[in-house]
Amino acid sequence: MNLTQWYAISLAAIAVLLILYRIGSISSAFLIARFQVLALRHLVYPLFVQRRYWTGVTRLQGFLVGAYLGINGFCMGLGVKTTSDVISRAGIMASVNLIPLFLGGRTNALANFIGISIHSYYIAHHWIGRVVIIQSLLHVTFVLAAGQPWTFNSSQISGISAVSALSLLLITSLFFLRRLMFEVFLKIHFLLAFIVVVALLEHVSHLGLTRSMFPIIALSLWSFNAIMRWGKIIYYNFGGVGHSLTPQADIFHFYDDSKTRTVSAIRLTVLLRRPMKINPGQYMYLFLSDMGVRRRFQAHPFVIAWWDDSLKATKVSFLIEPSNGLTSKLIGRGSLRSVVMDGPYGKDLRLDNFETVILVAKGIGIAGIIPYVRSLTYRRVNKDKNYDSYRRGLITRKIDLYWVLEDNCQEDWISDWLVDLQMRDSEKLILNCTCFYPRKMTKPPPIVEDPHWRFVYQQQAIPIIEGFITKQVQRSAGKSKVAVCGTSGFTHILRNIVIQTLKEYKDVEFAEVEYQPHGVHHIHSRVTSKNWDQIEIEATNLPSQLTSRERYLQRSQLGDTASSTYFKQKLARKLESNKDRLVEWRPGASNHLSTLEQRGEKADNVQGRDKINVREIV
């Protein structure tokens, strides 16, 4: 064949390859989309184990745990013929599995960089630890069964020490013991883990570098993680602007409407020493230095509910529902002199990649949802050219927020933030908000109602929310995502709603935010008459304290746009007019709410979820 024939064959081959590529891409896209929906419905979203506390274990997570156990069992048995083989294989496998455990028992910089959620990280840590303990006990059992003489040399003593420490780790890690003495458990857990790796290094030191490298890698990984963590802590907490003149953190108390004046929630607002970039879904570990010597070295995670500037935050707020332990100690305080922060950590759900975002919260779960509302709304309505990079990549056209209040007093927790969001989205570009109250209220809602901001009395909110979700997914021009934050039972119901919706509509996804309430509602009344007035004054004077603090720091730009001063002045006037109602309820106000029946928005059959007929939210 001459050159022209080769040229013709080449062109024909290229054309055939392009056609095959196009056919393959279309068919693969169809198969992937079909497989993705099936995987979401039957593997990723359904729960394998539903727990009372924290979130449940999905089928996918259960499958991965089962695969991990199966692989370890296969590696333990493959090629094993003698007792010596079992001893050697179990010891090596335990040493290898020990390495990822030394990333730490909580989330860290490396796991955060990879994008592992805190819930998945905990599951992996727990099961890897159990496998290490089983393999170590198997190693010791076969050593004892082999009848080797005891000379009590350093190798035998260190081996017994390592296994003993692992056994104590297993006992102290039992769920009821962790809940009984969690802070003590953390210290004991860390000490025993350190004993294990040091004893293991001594136990295998005489076998050469091939065996010693596993505990060395574990120690190196732990050291690297510790250096990265403490370097970040030192940079953000012990540099920049000092805090010698005024408190670094202010504590604002919210009360219910009972005669006992119980504290329903606490807002902890911390001024940062150095500005930092905050993303929705992130949380921090806080060391509260004013809480005594014993609690000074205890770090507690709190989700970041609000921050002042989208690019470089100088002030962050945490919404906390008091529980037993450290949070109950915050009830009797109005400020904190010093707060050391470790973070931020957390996995962003990337809701900006969806045209329609549906956010559902129950009770204190709003603390995990409101950051996403803030971020998406600010990015959508911000027209400042300096924030072009902040808006880049946002395709969200509509946000629907549904908040199921467990008590009417919870409205006060975020009333000023709702006012800010309403003013930001004054043109009604993106945000719709519906709050469901468990009983009729005796005072007006925090903001003026309109078709985009609705406050309704409805005890059975879930059927209504299900109807709204179905309508919004049906009307969405692109992909939709439902994100939920609430108790495990509430989240499970919303999960099933999305799974059922996937049977008819394919472009909808489900996600849980990393912060999940435990499902036990705590209301504390540990405020005595002796210190009540003092706390009330501190709460009332919070805006002035922060203003003086900001003047001292000379922060000239705390807002997101050039018009942020206008928003802040308008918000300050609103807060000034509502100052009394933020501190405690003022009964006797006109009842501004009505039921769904009175508004003509009652579902045809609240119990039958297939027959929901609600007015569309524009």
DSSP string computed for 349-416: --GGG-SEEEEEEEGGGHHHHHHHHHHHHHHHH---GGGHHHHTT----EEEEEEE-SSGGGGGGGHH
Backbone angles phi, psi at 541, to 5 degrees: -90, 10
Summarised one tens digit per residue, pLDDT across range 476-521 is: 888 899 999 988 888 889 999 999 888 888 888 898 888 877 654 4
Backbone angles phi, psi at 448, to 5 degrees: -70, 135
DSSP 291: G
Q: CB–CB of 58/44 below 8 Å? A: yes
CATH of domain 49-236: 1.20.120
- Check residue 598 and give its pLDDT: 38
- Check residue 605 and give its pLDDT: 35
DSSP string computed for 32-45: HHHHHHHHIIIIIS
The H or E element that residue 5 is part of is: helix 3-39
In whole angstroms, give the CA distance from residue 540 to residue 591. 25
| Residues with Cβ within 8 Å of residue 243, at least 6 apart in sequence | 271, 273, 337, 338
The H or E element that residue 266 is part of is: strand 263-276
In whole angstroms, give the CA distance from residue 107 to residue 342. 11
- Check residue 33 and give its pLDDT: 61
- Check residue 7 and give its pLDDT: 66
- Check residue 525 and give its pLDDT: 38
- Check residue 572 and give its pLDDT: 52
CA neighbor of 407 nearest in space, from 435, 367, 373: 435
DSSP 295: H
Beta bridge partners of 11: none
Delimit the domains of the chain by residue range: 3-39, 49-236, 249-599
Please state, in angstroms and as integers, the Cα–Cα distance from residue 137 to each residue in 83, 86, 148, 164, 367, following that order: 14, 12, 16, 10, 44
In whole angstroms, give the CA distance from residue 339 to residue 248. 7
Domain 49-236 and domain 249-599, same fold? Reply is: no
- Check residue 442 and give its pLDDT: 74
Tell me which residues of the chain have a pLDDT lower than 50.
520-568, 571, 574-618
- Check residue 332 and give its pLDDT: 78
Cis peptide before 46 (omega within 30 of 0): no
By DSSP bridging, strand 431-437 and strand 398-404 are: parallel
What is residue 182's three-state secondary structure?
helix
Per the listing, tokens 């924290």 go with 54
Biggest CA–CA distance in the chain, Å, is 104
In whole angstroms, give the CA distance from residue 607 to residue 441. 25
DSSP 337: S
In whole angstroms, give the CA distance from residue 513 to residue 490. 13
Beta bridge partners of 341: 286
- Check residue 1 and give its pLDDT: 58
Please state, in angstroms and as integers, the Cα–Cα distance from residue 417 to each residue in 27, 393, 543, following that order: 47, 25, 14
Helix 182-204 with 83-101: angle, nearest 10 deg: 130
DSSP string computed for 455-518: EEE-S-HHHHHHHHHHHHHHH-SS-EEEEEES-HHHHHHHHHHHHHHTTT-SSEEEEE-S----
DSSP string computed for 41-84: IIIISSEEE--SSS--EEHHHHHHHHHHHHHHHHHHHTT--SHH
Backbone angles phi, psi at 98, to 5 degrees: -70, -25
CA neighbor of 191 nearest in space, from 229, 164, 220: 164
CA contacts within 13 A on the Cβ side of 320: 27
Q: CB–CB of 66/157 below 8 Å? A: no
- Check residue 568 and give its pLDDT: 47
What is residue 306's three-state secondary structure?
strand
Quote the pTM value. Answer: 0.75
Helices (H) and strands (E) in the chain — how many of each? 21, 16
CB atoms within 10 A of CB 542: 21
First-residue to last-residue Cα distance in the chain: 70
In whole angstroms, give the CA distance from residue 558 to residue 561. 9
Summarised one tens digit per residue, pLDDT across range 584-614 is: 332 322 233 333 333 333 333 333 333 333 3
CATH for 249-599, options being 2.30.30.110, 3.40.50.80, 1.50.10.10, 3.90.1200.10: 3.40.50.80
In whole angstroms, give the CA distance from residue 170 to residue 193. 11
